[in-house]
Structure 1
Amino acid sequence: MTDVTTELPAARRGRSEALIRSRILQAIFERRLPPGEKLTEDRLAELFGVSRTVVRQALARLAQDGIVEQQPNRGAFVAAPSRADARHVLEARAVVEPEVAHAVACRCGGAALERLRRHITTENEARAAGDRATLVRLTGEFHVTLAEAAGNPVFVRLLTELQALSSLSILLYARGEHAACPPHEHDDIVRAIERGEAEEASRLMREHIGHVAAEMDLSEPQERPVGLAQALGIKPRARRMPLR
């Protein structure tokens, strides 16, 4: 059977693949796709009206970014970061994002700055309306929007990946209800950027990442007792050898 993908123009295949990746990322940002969720090629192909080849390419790209795990003979699954993975993601964000905020404060203006203002307004509207799904997505997308304002495509790719992994980590390890970013902190960062205060914007972003990390339980769980006696806190007695 001929794969219909071969009959599609390359540009259309690329758009279809990008759309699939974008929708999966959006669902992760909104925390509607939980860690470990199976991503079935046949079902995705049906939903997007494309071939399995296009779906497979989209999933392979997400797997390269660590957002999807491909398991032999089992298929593709939304990644389930370990606590160590989550710590690594937050460490990377704590290094990269203050520099992004610094860069934006130094060079941002015009349309990019207006886009940041609109994003903050939309965040505040979603928070006031109690629209949790939209708020969660927007608070994650803020960091990608900030990277776009820096005008550096490498920052954009990196922050897209880190934000998706952060969303999955929060679902797994949040101390309480799955919270969005703390209120007002994005607004404070944008205000510092508007004033051209690069060092202040960097400092506020560093604190912000610290607050996100503080809302997660990333300590490794203690080893569980092995065996009934240890679980009950009873020292097992030495077994007597049977008399012959």
Structure 2
Amino acid sequence: MDPSLPRFQKAHGKSEAEIRRRILQAIFEMRLPPGERLTEEQLAETFDVSRTVVRQAIARLAQDGILVKMPNIGTTVAAPTRKETRDILAVRKMVEPDIVRMLAAGPVGGGLDRLHAHLAKEKAARNSDDRGTLVRLTGEFHLLLAEVAANDVLTRLMTGLQTLTCLAILLYAEQDKACPPDEHSRIVNAIAEGNGETAAREMLRHLKHVEADLKLDGEDKASNFSETMAWLRGA
């Protein structure tokens, strides 16, 4: 296997769901960059599973837009365009304020404990300067909100949106830094207080901050095959 390709720790007999989880984790920790090529052989060897299991994992991630399958090229990690990134963030700004508003309005039971425990993990990663873990945890915070809402559709939607946002950050952010330390805590505090409008306002403020950190004002340059071939010929 090409030693330049990203590798995961050897994991024997992983399930299709676990393979998907590990690939998502690698993206969240920014170990798998946009456009990275993945092969069935590579993943089957890494996870010590059959290509059938790998093929199932790839199909699910491709269905969610996280991986892209292209003829004669194979499977690559998605690389959202600027327009796609603007669309992703527009959907997040519509959906996520309502998620936190819903959590503040109804009983969340142990969900609130899970949110506080997650914030503690973010703080520990920040204090230990564990950047990869911190970036992953700040992304997973948004998935946890959907999980606490106990809505499988929302959880799947947020998984795709958050993963694509992580990839867009690698492409368009000047600094691939994690979320500021206080913004998640303000959202959770508003949920704990039962103040849905404050929670929604803090979430929208947070997402606008994420958007502002990305350089999305420019237009995506269309690929022109003939121009590229001319350049390769030295024309």
Q: 1:107 to 1:171 in 2, by over 3 A?
A: same
Gaps of 5+ in 2: 1-12, 228-235
Moved over 3 A (4+): 221-224
Superposed displacement of residue 57, structure 1: 1.2
Task: Name which one, 1 or 2, has greater alpha-carbon Rg.
Answer: 1
Q: Deviations over 1:89-137 (max 9, x none)?
A: 1001000000001011112433111000000111011111111000000
Q: Deviations over 1:140-169 (max 9, x none)?
A: 000000111111111111111100000000
The AA in structure 1 aligned to 2:53 is V
Q: Is the 8 A contact 2:125 2:134 kept in 1?
A: yes
Q: Deviations over 1:174-207 (max 9, x none)?
A: 0x22011122100000000000001110110011
TM-score, normalised via structure 1 length: 0.83
Q: Is the 8 A contact 2:83 2:220 kept in 1?
A: no
Deviates more, 1:139-148 or 1:178-187: 178-187
Identity over aligned pairs, percent: 55
Q: 1:222 to 1:173 in 2, by over 3 A?
A: closer
Q: Is the 8 A contact 1:107 1:150 kept in 2?
A: no
Q: Secondary structure of 2:181's match?
A: coil
Residue 212 of structure 1: aligned partner: 210
Q: 1:190 to 1:57 in 2, by over 3 A?
A: same
Residue 194 of structure 2: aligned partner: 196
Alpha-carbon distance in 1 for matches of 2:221, 2:61: 33
Alpha-carbon distance in 2 for matches of 1:129, 1:50: 35
Residue 25 of structure 1: aligned partner: 24
Q: Is the 8 A contact 1:182 1:211 kept in 2?
A: no
Q: 1:38 to 1:197 in 2, by over 3 A?
A: same
Alpha-carbon distance in 1 for matches of 2:158, 2:107: 18
Alpha-carbon distance in 2 for matches of 1:34, 1:151: 30
Q: Secondary structure of 1:182's match?
A: coil
Q: 1:108 to 1:212 in 2, by over 3 A?
A: farther
Q: 1:38 to 1:155 in 2, by over 3 A?
A: same
Pairing 1:119-158 to 2, within 5 Å after superposition: 119-158=118-157
Gaps of 5+ in 1: 1-12, 228-244
Alpha-carbon distance in 2 for matches of 1:182, 1:214: 13
Residue 76 of structure 2: aligned partner: 77
Superposed displacement of residue 221, structure 1: 4.3
Alpha-carbon distance in 2 for matches of 1:142, 1:190: 10
Residue 42 of structure 2: aligned partner: 43
The AA in structure 2 aligned to 1:198 is G
Pairing 1:79-118 to 2, within 5 Å after superposition: 79-118=78-117
Residue 170 of structure 1: aligned partner: 169
Q: 1:191 to 1:72 in 2, by over 3 A?
A: same
Paired residues, number: 211
Q: 2:56 matched to 1:57?
A: yes
TM-score, normalised via structure 2 length: 0.86
Alpha-carbon distance in 1 for matches of 2:65, 2:220: 27
Q: Secondary structure of 1:70's match?
A: strand
